[in-house]
A and B are shown apart, each in its own frame.
Chain A
Amino acid sequence: MSATNPAPSREPLDFSELQRMAGEILGVDADRVQLDVSFARDLAADSLDLVELIMAIEDRYQVSLPPERLEGMRKVGDLWEFLMEQHGAA
């Protein structure tokens, strides 16, 4: 694994990293990205924003979100839970 590679899935998950990425992609301050906030209602993220965020997460953590789970991604916590599952499975 080269030093320049994105973090491998076995690297400890860091919520602040998810906050940073979501903040940048959704154009909001990172500290507004909390587990119980809604992507659509609280962060004004539409479906395209969410797809973009998930693509970035997939690249960053080398995971793949099945299309059928996209529908269930309503809150930041849903995405974090998915990442925890993937991390545990790695």
Chain B
Amino acid sequence: MLATIALAMSVSCERDISDDAVEATFPNTAEVFTDAPVGLTDEFFTSFDPASGANPNGFGTDEDEAFEGTTSIRIDVPSPNDPDGGYIGGIFKDRGEGRDLSGYDALTFWAKGSTTATIDLVGFGTDFEENKYAVGLPGITLSTDWRKYVIPIPDASKLTQEKGLFIFSAGTQSTNGLGYTFWIDEIRFENLGTIAQPRPAILNGNDETRQAFIGTNIALEGLTQTFNLASGQDVTVNAAPSYFEFQSSNTGVVTVDEAGNVNVIGANGFDAGGNPIFTTVTASLNGNMAAGSLTIDSQGEFTPAPTPTRDPSLVKSIFSDAYTNEPVEYYNGYYAPFQTTQGQNDITINGDNIIKYTQLNFVGIQFSQPTINASDMTHLHMDLYIEQPSPLDGGDFLRIELQDYGANGTFGGGDDSTHQLTYTIPTLFSDGWVSLDIPLASFTGVTSTANLGQLLFISDGTITDMLVDNIYLYQIPTSPTVAAPTPTDPAGNVISLFSDAYTDVNVDTWRTPWSAAATTFEDVTVAGNAAKKYGNLGFVGIETTTNTVDASSMTHFHIDVWSSTYTSFNIKLVDFGADNVFGGGDDTEHEVSINMPAQGEWVSLDIPLSDFTGLASTSNIAQYILVAQPFEATDVFIDNMYFRN
């Protein structure tokens, strides 16, 4: 009663503004919960989605506990293995169109716990709509007696129509999985007058420089606002991007939208001395400059990693837009205390998701829930782009470590196996994509690949900035599972020896008797498409002696080849000369060698006839000799063998 009188008296002295000046505003009700919800939806607690593991059953009111009045909110935090959900959390939402909170500077409440647990998050501004002005205070520690908590409003002038009046999220990380209860009472917005010394920050106050390309998109993170309270304590809340104003030092190179998304749209400019001019993104909150900045070194146009072509049915992907990825827990474990590496799967360039590591010393990617069974896989692929202003030197290295978690499927337990492979120049180089296809068998310390759990990159700081894309395990089968690409050269420009796409000329033999003894020949079908298989290819002769081929109007020799094991592949063409028969002194020939062709996928060779420099004439081509290494120990499939112009 006394409080009511005092309030009435204090307003009685205020001069009323005239009716003309009254603006249409939303109610400024301060209370959220006293002994009952105030102005909230009837079911005033809206749980997080149970599909995320949220337990919707532990929320209620308690008439036996209250800080003031008769009733408090009671929250029973479940254990992680509770069948109804392993954590609890949700929001309180305004019943109407929202409230005008611009006259307040904090949300306050009282809470006590059955134990001194840590609550993951409390806050406001989350309305399960735009969440535009979401604010979160992480990690408050409960007392077993009532204690007041203050969540400062980063900039109250933004909150003229706010529906998200309270949010909390609580689990049992701080109690080793033991459930507990906590009570909340007297939730209200207040104008304390003692919320002071604002110190906003982006990127948690760090000044970061990142290399980027046109099309790079980076979401600014680590957005916080810190205030000093009457207690003298600093409180830092996470603040939604909408509280901030973002600035770019050159909007022709880098733009930032209201949501804090940084988009690179141009390349670095250069000063008079030819030095690149970087672009810096900064921010302010309610007129206060935020600590932290993002400086972009834009390299201009971006060359994406080669698009993977492996048959998706033979791939288990860890990170690639080309495939469906296996469940991955994280692309950076931020292992304390020795890891410096920042960055993870948080950038896109022209829509291509890419992992970007900075300050690399080591970093782990974990995929242990469940582990990946790669026992039917043969290779590990990844594309690396080392960003470095100067070329790599002999001291720079990257170790790639693969860990199998063993039969128990979890880290440790005595059944893990691991192996590191070290890469240096010239395999590694900077400012271009390095594509690695590593036989799993070369990870000799990995005794089983049935429970792969982790992939690590280790550079000890010799390589610090690296893009990674298309990390996947794949199987190279012993024979192709997909047909060779269908040729697109117009039939009128082609003389075909073997292709379903064209009418073929007469070929006398696809395996001359003088071919390598171990080499076998077989007409086969690959995914419904005719192909030819040479088993244990050493060398094989193919002949068009009856009707030699006049390829003098052609410019290229084309052949699609496939092998899971070859390390080189050679093609020799023999022209019988003007006499059109073997011998006679006018025969000419030339052999072209393809070193390290890609294994386990169709390789389309389209070789200019001018590369066959020893071939004096192409008017009477009669012999085609295919050679592979390892000699008489590799199976090679061919398709679409033709001349074209």
Co-complex (A, B): no
Residues of A that sit less than 8 Å from B by CB: none
Residues of B that sit less than 8 Å from A by CB: none
